[in-house]
A and B are shown apart, each in its own frame.
Chain A
Amino acid sequence: MTWDVVLATLAAAIKAGTPILYATLGEILAERTGILNLGLEGMMLIGALTGFLICSMTNNPWLGVLAAIISGGLLALIHAFLTITLRAQQVVSGLALTMFGMGLSGFIGKVVIGVPIAGYFRPFDFPFLSQIPFLGEVFFQQDALVYISYLLIPILSFWIYRTRPGLHMRAVGENPATADAMGISVAGIRYLYTFLGGCLAGLGGAYLSLAYTPVWLENMVAGRGWIAIALVIFASWDPFKALLGSYLFGLVDAVQFRAQALGLAVPSFFLNMTPYVATILVLVFATRETARRHLGAPAALGIPFAREEKT
């Protein structure tokens, strides 16, 4: 492998990791307040479609992204209503949301099958920073949505660990009863972050349809939402580790095809399954009770909250 190929591989890993990164960050927000939302795949699909639809109508990718964010959030509100207000089973509601998103996006999306868009996010050299050797080529010759994700990580991290609202958010996820006694609105906070989580998932979907492969195809997210759900555990609910995990997955993808192209004798089936094997290993390792505690899973994750009720 020449040096150029290495740089290209790393840059490609970031691109491939970005949609997963957005979705993972979104899920972290929701899970931090105790809401498990398995509807990521559905929200990403709706985001990808809405973004594409709006962009094809207005020719403005930023409007598309805005629409994707809102639509992802709105879909998440269905989950929020069912699980927070009606206290439905989070797993069931989340799965239903995924199927709903798949069906709805496929149905509505028929009008834009085979329609190209002219205005989409193209990579550009970030002023000044792209000149840095190595780092510049890998990190700063990307598109605008990738740059935004760089910004989002420290912001979210600061928000979660260093601010008062972030403390409230974590309190709701760890011990809603205590948070409630402190006068924090458990339901309000859960609604808010489930919504924001949906927004980020929608943005992740829009990255696929507006930047990476500007096209709409039914079910184009192709399972990335599920990888993101596994990554949340891998990342132990931490934005920086989510970045690491997403890029690692992106790297597996990027490396496998370059290895094949270079004629390295590794069976393609084996290479293709590596992301999923990694997912399973991460889950096996991370879901053991001790590991969960060690990793810092929100204690109230998946448990509906009702005042005055023993859980």
Chain B
Amino acid sequence: MSKKFFFMTIATLALLALLVTSCAPAQPSTPTPTPTPTIVPSPTTTTPPSPTPTPKFRVAFIYIGPIGDGGWTFEHEQGRLMLLQNVPGIEAKYIESVPEGADSTKVIRDYAQQGFNVIITTSFGYMDPTIEVAKDFPNTVFLHCSGYKTAANVGTYFGKIEEPRYLSGMAAGKMTKTNKLGYVAAFPIPEVIRGINAFTLGVRAVNPAATVNVVWTNTWYDPAKERQAAEGLLDTGCDVIAQHQDTPGPQQAAEAAGKYGVGYDSDMAKFAPKAVITCPVWNWGTYYVDAVKKIMAGAWTTNQYWGGMKDGMVSLTPLANFVPADVKALVEAKKAEIMAGTFDIFSIFAGPLNDQTGAVKVAAGVKMTGDEILNMMWFVEGVNGQIPSGG
């Protein structure tokens, strides 16, 4: 029996050991060549693995999810690859699936101790850990995505995705026949809520009779569930499905029902070519290249970067072929205003704005401030749905 027990233990340990090694985050970053069509042609070579005697400029990325999520982290990874391509002589490592909180503090500190010059933390929940570690490493620059705390060596960055969202709303408002649009929402946090609001304001700018119906999945990332949510909206009469999650599930549901959709995060048209009108997408790479070049040149000072369409941080994928020419012209005209700087996120969230009950929230002539926009926790008029409380 003891012999058998011994075997069993060995076998279990062996399998666990295998697991640990297979699950360990890909520390020495070897970018796998992805055949994915994206803004960046995927590099097939990686930085030389052997250390060169001259010290390199080293950048580390901390990711919240796996780079294979096809959405948030995937797009940051595209940004990292673009950085590697555009800034010669640097090293850019990444670590995937780092939980927010204490674990991330350890990981960030570890990279700082290894002497990385720039550490980029790509999720809201890394904010406090980033600030905490940054205190002990004044010579390291930290860039934190989507937060609001800064320090002399900590900058933040985020994008005005609401601009392309507004444009996608305009296109969607023109494409609907039932005047009922659906929105598959992720979690009831300001980022998602202002996305819904920007979309709705775009819709109602061209089609004041239309409503946007919201369903919450409380997921970022469950294709089957998100598809199910979209089907629920389609079954109740919605004929354009917008979304906040990273998966093409809702768009596939729209296509199966012969209806339209607006994707998000990365270009989803290839998954549902007959349905996807357009997608608001992130392009982190432009920012990473700029910021790292500045830091290398010693020209960087702490800042809170909030890039819009004009800066190339966010964009709208080309409208689908099935979109009528007049709708295209309408959206293009507004896009031209944004690119010219005459229309921006503050023009979107400018009064008069009513809430769902029709009560005035922002008076005519008043523009919401950046802080107000970033902390928006109410729906504009035209949204059907509730923001779950106590979440």
Contact = CB atoms under 8 A, between A and B. Distances in A.
B164 to A, nearest CB: 19
B236 A5 contact: yes
B118 interface: no
A104 B69 contact: no
A96 B227 CA distance: 30
Contact of A263 (B217, B229, B384): B384
A100 B247 CA distance: 23
A309 B252 CA distance: 56
A12 B271 CA distance: 20
Contacts of B236: 5, 258, 261-262
A5 B391 CA distance: 29
B68 A113 contact: yes
Given A213-B249, A217-B70, A261 B235 contact: yes
B8 interface: yes
Contacts of A218: 65-66, 68-70
B173 to A, nearest CB: 19
Contacts of B22: 100, 103-104, 107
Interface string B223-256: 1110111011101101000000011110010001
Nearest to A258: B232
Interface in B194-246: 213-219, 221-225, 227-229, 231-233, 235-236, 238, 246
B23 A99 contact: yes
Interface stretch (A29-37, A86-94, A174-182): A86-94
A5 B235 contact: yes
A194 to B, nearest CB: 15
B343 interface: no
A265 interface: yes
Interface in A220-275: 220, 222, 224, 253-254, 257-258, 260-263, 265, 267-269, 272
Interface string A76-115: 0010001000111100110010011011101101110111
Contacts of B15: 78, 82, 93, 96, 100
A212 B224 contact: yes
Interface string A166-177: 000000000000
Interface in A108-144: 109-111, 113-116, 122-123
A212 B227 contact: yes
Nearest to B69: A218
A152 B227 CA distance: 26
Contacts of B87: none
B27 interface: no
A19 interface: yes
Interface residues of A, number: 58
Given A87-B8, A114-B34, A16 B216 contact: no
A92 B238 CA distance: 47
A48 to B, nearest CB: 10
Nearest to A7: B235
B333 interface: no
B248 A103 contact: no
Q: What bracket does the count of chain B residues touching chain A fall in?
A: 35 or more
Interface in B15-49: 15-16, 18-19, 22-23, 32, 34-38
Nearest to B235: A8
A260 B182 CA distance: 11
B11 interface: yes
Given A213-B247, A257-B232, A87 B4 contact: yes
Contacts of B12: 82, 88-89, 92-93, 96
B7 interface: yes
A289 interface: no
Contacts of B217: 257, 272
A219 interface: yes
A206 B249 CA distance: 15
B210 to A, nearest CB: 16
Interface string B123-147: 0000000000000000000000000
A218 B34 CA distance: 15
B74 interface: yes
Contact of B232 (A114, A116, A208, A254): A254
Contact of A272 (B38, B68, B216, B227): B216
8 contacts: A12-B231, A78-B15, A82-B11, A111-B34, A213-B223, A217-B70, A268-B386, A269-B391
The 9 closest A-B pairs by CB, nearest first: A257-B232, A268-B216, A218-B68, A213-B223, A114-B36, A222-B222, A258-B232, A103-B23, A8-B235
Interface of B: 1, 4, 7-8, 11-12, 15-16, 18-19, 22-23, 32, 34-38, 65-70, 74, 182, 213-219, 221-225, 227-229, 231-233, 235-236, 238, 246-249, 252, 256, 266, 270-271, 384-386, 388-391
Given A103-B23, A257-B231, 8 more contacts: A5-B235, A100-B15, A212-B227, A213-B249, A214-B252, A214-B271, A260-B216, A263-B213
Interface of A: 4-5, 8-9, 12, 16, 19, 78, 82, 86-89, 92-93, 96, 99-100, 102-104, 106-107, 109-111, 113-116, 122-123, 208, 212-215, 217-220, 222, 224, 253-254, 257-258, 260-263, 265, 267-269, 272, 306, 309
